[in-house]
Amino acid sequence: MTAYIIRRLFATLPVMAVVALFVFFLLRLAPGDPAAIIAGDDATTEAIEAVRMKLGLDRPLVEQFVVWVWALLQGDLGVSIFSNLPVTRLMAQRVEPTIALTLSTLVVAVSLAIPIGVVAAWKARKLVDRVVMGFAVLGFAMPVFVLAYVLIYFFAVQWQLLPVQGYQPMSAGLWPFVESLILPSVALGVTYMALIARITRASMLEVLQQDYIRTANAKGLATDRVLLLHALKNASVPIVTVIGIGIALLISGVVITETVFNIPGLGRLTVDAVLKRDYPIVQGLILVFAGVKVVVNLIIDISYAFLDPRIRY
């Protein structure tokens, strides 16, 4: 087991190196010049070049990349071009709403999707199954921002049950904190929940056709015991896999959701930085998001060895 974990840890290093390489050069090759934005619309060519020299953007790309990587290896993500604040500080100021939104979405989606998928597999080809699969198809097809605006219109504007936008920290009270996360969590979690429910159903259907499940039913074991202890346990590997894949959906969905609901998190910071061509912030955020994805995949890979010991070999 130790050797397996060490191999998986070393496998993450080239992944992060490739991500850093692509992030740096794609940002530099993309249209837009932060020096021109800082200098203003009426700035002369000489003024723009002066700003570029001050920011170090006039250096060769390879030299800029080496300087950035060297600082990165020392734990320095750089300084924002526009605010002159360290990227790590800006991210620390915005990380709480993003973590709260992601965790609340994850808990709600997983806790609802797995039971729904199990019930759909148990009642396969019946009304419950058709309703669940219809919800899964609709939920997976509907864009996050469309569902977000629908929820805002009904629950915030028409019925005035929940706030339209904004975020309340835990220090403001438990209910204001929860209230500010309900609509964004539902909007972000429906797609994720639909995906998990479909995979859970498919995996459970395959397991429920196995001989040992028939034997358990023939022995007269309770239905819940057969479904949870025998079937769900052996169907867990695909479910855990899709939960990990869904983390990528959450990361991309956070950017849209925080923008729609005006939540001051990392997603909103990403949008603002992209619009301003603030290279250090965009680079730092993408690296952090990629690192989270890599760590989640690593945890899932390691969990395989506990769920099915044959995988480690």
Q: Which of 215, 214, 208, 216 is nearest to 234 (CA)?
A: 208
Judged by phi (left if over 0) then psi (alpha if -120 to 50, else beta), residue 163 lies in: beta
Write down the pLDDT at residue 177.
94
Burial of 13 (0-12, 13-18, 19+ CB in 10 A): exposed
Give the pLDDT band (50/70/90) at residue 61. confident
Taken in order 292, 185, 165, 178, the sign of the CA dihedral is negative
CA distance 205 to 208: 5
Write down the pLDDT at residue 228.
81
Give the pLDDT band (50/70/90) at residue 48. confident
Rg (the chain; Cα; Å): 24
Q: 86 - beta bridge partners?
A: 79
Overall fold of domain 93-308: MetI-like fold (1.10.3720)
| Each residue's pLDDT tens digit, 264-283 | 999 889 988 988 888 889 99
Dump the DSSP string for 134-154: HHHHHHHHS-HHHHHHHHIII
DSSP state of 269: H
Q: What percent of the chain has pLDDT over 90?
A: 28
How far lies 169's CA from each of 193, 266, 272, in Å?
Answer: 25, 15, 21
Q: What is the mean pLDDT of residues 187-202?
A: 90
The answer to whether the CB of 132 falls within 8 A of the CB of 117 is: yes
- pLDDT higher than 90, residue 91: yes
Write down the pLDDT at residue 265.
93
Write down the pLDDT at residue 312.
58
The answer to whether the CB of 191 falls within 8 A of the CB of 142 is: yes
Give the pLDDT band (50/70/90) at residue 52. confident
Cβ neighbors of 130 (< 8 A, separation 6 or more) are none
Query: Structure tokens of 236?
Result: 């867990």
Write down the pLDDT at residue 176.
92
Q: 79 - beta bridge partners?
A: 86
CA distance 224 to 233: 12
Q: Which residues of 53-68 are buried (b: 16+ CB within 10 A; e: fewer)?
A: eebebeeeeeebbeeb
| Each residue's pLDDT tens digit, 139-191 | 878 888 899 999 999 999 999 999 988 899 988 889 999 999 999 999 999 88
Write down the pLDDT at residue 7.
80
Greater pLDDT, 120 or 40? 120
Say how many C-beta atoms besides its own lie within 10 A of residue 281's C-beta.
27
Write down the pLDDT at residue 162.
92
In this structure, the chain runs to a length of 313
Say how many C-beta atoms besides its own lie within 10 A of residue 160's C-beta.
9
Write down the pLDDT at residue 56.
82
| Each residue's pLDDT tens digit, 6-21 | 787 788 888 888 888 8
Q: What is the mean pLDDT of residues 22-40?
A: 79
Looking at the chain, the domain(s) classified CATH 1.10.3720.10 span 93-308
CA distance 132 to 50: 60
- pLDDT higher than 80, residue 226: yes
